Amino acid sequence: MKHKLIAALLTFTLLCTVLVPIAGASGVAQPLTWPKTQAMPSFPAPAETLDAINMNGMPYGERATIAVLQGLVNREQPRIITMGGYQEEPLELWPQTLNLQYSFVDDWKALVLKYRSAFKGLMVYNPDVHDTLNLATTAAGLNDCLAASPELAAILSAAPYNLSVVTDFNTLPITNRLEAYEYLYQNYWPQCNKRLLFGLSNTEHMPLRDLAAAVGGAVLWLDPVYAEEEAMLTRFFNDLETGASYAGWWAQEGDGIGYSTRAGVPTIPADHFMNYSVYSGMTRKVNPPAVPAKPALQDGKIYVSLNYSDGDNIQYIEHALRRSSLWESPDRGKVPIGWTFSPMLLDAAPQMMEYFCQTATPNDVLVAGPSGAGYATVGDWRSLGALKAYTDRTNDYFEQTNINVITTWGWMFEPFAEVYARAIPSLIGMTMQERYFQRLFVTTNHVPVVWFGNDQPGGAGLTYEWGTEKTKTQLSQIADAGIERTQFYAAQFLSWETPVTQIADMVDELNAAYPGRFEFVRTDHFMMLLNESQGRPFGASLQKPVSASSSAANAPAQNAADGSFSTGWQAGEAGESWLQIDLGEAHCLERYVLENASSNGLDAALNTRAWQIQTSENGVDGWQTIDSKKGNADGVVYRSLPKVQARHVRILVTDPGADGIARIQDLEIFAAPVSAQKSIADRLEGIPAKLTQLLWNVQYLIEFLKNLLGSLLGG
Ligand SMILES: [Ca+2]
């Protein structure tokens, strides 16, 4: 048996060895995997052993050449990896974490010879007109060429490389930025990829050019602050496909993100992201950890959610998040922290994301932002259709990563929050980074939107700061005010400037000064507790006791209520089966989310086909059917429930799917404890709040129209 296996492996290895050079020689590149549901493509699986280049100390021009070389070689099969530590990042941090095999080459130019058939020539940029580097990168990607400086071109055009110069941009009358991109627009843009546009500085951002070259993307560096550059940029943006993204970065964050959002295109911050063309080829699947049980709601507590900013940038996740002051801090896990995180890492480096899933403590939760899948500023959307497309995409990523909270930037506005809440049925809460609204509001399907700002009655936010001083002062003042009702506050910290230890120390100091007054909670728990305290539904089934008609040995019933699709229940016997959850007390039911086999990457034929949702007072008998579904094929199912009251809820699986064995990855029931439903007095108190909300909306609308008018008039 063992011999047969070895023989099979040998045959397979031989086949691979033979097939790869043939594919290379024929020049037929394997297509990248890029379904419409992905913002960015997946490369093929990396080769067993990669050629590694140490980029430390390398001049920026050569870095660009190497990135293009890497992209052209790797789009057929990832065979080249680059390494260059940023700041305190160890050189081989990720390649070692991800168990990649590689061997360093002494001179990267040896790889030009090794993969010589992948290149048709050289595109030579003009070092005196920086933007010709982007022009040459774009031209190189479209024509299977390397982008090179004149100096490097002199070497690569001679023996033994013998790469001919296809276009020398030094010989063309291109003297400035606008002329460079005008030339790009006229000569290359028609052939360029229209799903991804790149924004990379010609003097700072070299690495992401592997992806740009591999997909034939246009690389720009235009700042919409300047009218002429904005006009040029708009010509490119106007031609993009629906659902396109802008990857890289902007000369000025606020202006750039605002511009791209108004154009309906989210930005994927990725300016120094290295090895997209390697990491994206690894298994595109993450296994989010189970969500711990929510602390019980206690009257009069001050609930606080503490969050980090900046995880929207995948280069930050790659190069900075694992600093000893942040994710690798010995103090991580001592207090609950929400880590903003780009869901787009699922495209760029799924196994990097998996690392964070696997090393998260029960006190770490990933939060998307800003303001969903890709960076956008909410108030800048100029079309609900574009916002709808963005939130639909965000939902696709949430279903694959278990993220269910968003930090939003820009002016949040009720109709926009409604679009989010409807497009993303698993969304349980949002924060807004908006100084005009000093309050909290709730969407019609009960998603709370919490402000990072000053204290307001009914719960609001704290601040966004470098360090923790202001937050500590504000929280002390809140405790000193002696208000007896339950309160909720959320804060955000600039991750580059605020070590985990500083946050943990702040929590210790506050707990020592005000014993039992505060409860610091995970961001997802915060949203659940906030809803619970106000009698609104939340994911009440999380970690509640589960039982089942039968269970397979390694797939117990409790797996179906741990908040993660990566663990599941499987019936021990074929045929009709049931799984039931004890909510602990009577709840008023609202809706449920059912995650079937394919939500965890299993064959969709194994998804539950038909079921009934039933309720019972005692959990033993008297089961009443309140919802039933037949003919399902979906991995994730969202359904409303009639507003009935029940303590015990079960799913009776009547048609389990292809092999007759019931499988449920997770069943989340949104409900509010009957005991926590708001009293009539509280409801009456809510009326003035509604009026205030209306006034805010009118004020917002005026600001929004002023803004819109301003942008239409070009001012
Ligand atoms: Ca589960």
- Residue 599 Cα to ligand 1 midpoint, Å, equals 10
239-248, 433-442, 583-592: lowest mean pLDDT where? Answer: 433-442
pLDDT above 50: residue 4: no
Q: Which of 126, 147, 163 is nearest to 210 (CA)?
A: 147
Number of C-alpha atoms within 13 angstroms, CB side, residue 387?
A: 21
User: In a 3-state reduction of DSSP, which class is residue 550?
Assistant: coil
Average confidence (pLDDT) over 69-91: 92
- Residue 100 Cα to ligand 1 midpoint, Å, equals 30
Rg over CA atoms, the chain: 27
- Residue 559 Cα to ligand 1 midpoint, Å, equals 4
pLDDT at residue 26, as a whole number: 35
pLDDT in tens, 158-209: 999 999 999 999 999 999 999 999 999 999 999 999 999 999 999 999 999 9
The answer to whether 232 and 222 are in contact (CB under 8 A) is yes
- Residue 84 Cα to ligand 1 midpoint, Å, equals 38
Q: 482: which residues sit within 8 A by CB, 6+ positions away?
A: none
Please state whether beta strands 577-595 and 666-673 pair in parallel, antiparallel, or not at all (unpaired): antiparallel
32-41, 300-309, 514-523, 695-704: lowest mean pLDDT where? Answer: 695-704
- Residue 526 Cα to ligand 1 midpoint, Å, equals 21
Q: 697 falls in which pLDDT band (50, 70, 90)?
A: low
pLDDT above 50: residue 457: no
Q: 18 falls in which pLDDT band (50, 70, 90)?
A: very low
Q: Where are the domains of the chain?
A: 50-232, 303-533, 538-676
Q: What SS3 string covers 610-669?
A: EEEEEEECCCCCCCEEEEEECCCCCCEEEEECCCCEEEEEEEEEEECCCCCCCEECEEEE
pLDDT above 60: residue 28: no
CATH of segment(s) 303-533: 3.20.20.490
Query: What single DSSP character describes residue 377?
Result: B
Q: Tokens 């509001």: give the residue.
A: 441
pLDDT in tens, 362-396: 999 999 989 999 999 998 998 888 899 999 999 99
74-78, 208-212, 675-679: lowest mean pLDDT where? Answer: 675-679
- Residue 566 Cα to ligand 1 midpoint, Å, equals 6
The answer to whether 119 and 72 are in contact (CB under 8 A) is yes
- Residue 461 Cα to ligand 1 midpoint, Å, equals 31
- Residue 557 Cα to ligand 1 midpoint, Å, equals 9
- Residue 602 Cα to ligand 1 midpoint, Å, equals 14
How distant, in Å, are the alpha carbons of 122, 132, 159, 259 from that of 167? 7, 11, 19, 33
Average confidence (pLDDT) over 469-491: 89
pLDDT in tens, 249-262: 999 999 999 999 99
pLDDT above 90: residue 407: yes
- Residue 563 Cα to ligand 1 midpoint, Å, equals 5
The answer to whether 585 and 661 are in contact (CB under 8 A) is no
- Residue 558 Cα to ligand 1 midpoint, Å, equals 8
pLDDT at residue 479, as a whole number: 92
- Residue 446 Cα to ligand 1 midpoint, Å, equals 23
Query: Are domains 303-533 and 538-676 of this chain identical in fold?
Result: no
pLDDT above 90: residue 341: yes
pLDDT in tens, 555-587: 999 999 999 999 999 999 999 999 999 999 999
Whole-number mean pLDDT of the chain? 90
Q: 666 falls in which pLDDT band (50, 70, 90)?
A: very high
- Residue 569 Cα to ligand 1 midpoint, Å, equals 7
Q: 667: which residues sit within 8 A by CB, 6+ positions away?
A: 541, 560, 561, 579, 581, 592, 593, 594, 595, 651
- Residue 640 Cα to ligand 1 midpoint, Å, equals 20
- Residue 379 Cα to ligand 1 midpoint, Å, equals 36
How distant, in Å, are the alpha carbons of 454, 489, 495, 523 from that of 467? 17, 17, 9, 19
Angle 586-587-592 from CA coordinates, rounded to 5° = 140
- Residue 667 Cα to ligand 1 midpoint, Å, equals 8
CATH of segment(s) 538-676: 2.60.120.260
pLDDT above 70: residue 482: yes
Q: Which of 61, 67, 62, 60 is nearest to 274 (CA)?
A: 67
Tell me how far apart the alpha carbons of residues 558 and 579 are, in angstroms, rounded to a whole number. Answer: 9
Q: 677 falls in which pLDDT band (50, 70, 90)?
A: low
In 282-336, DSSP assigns E strands to 302-308
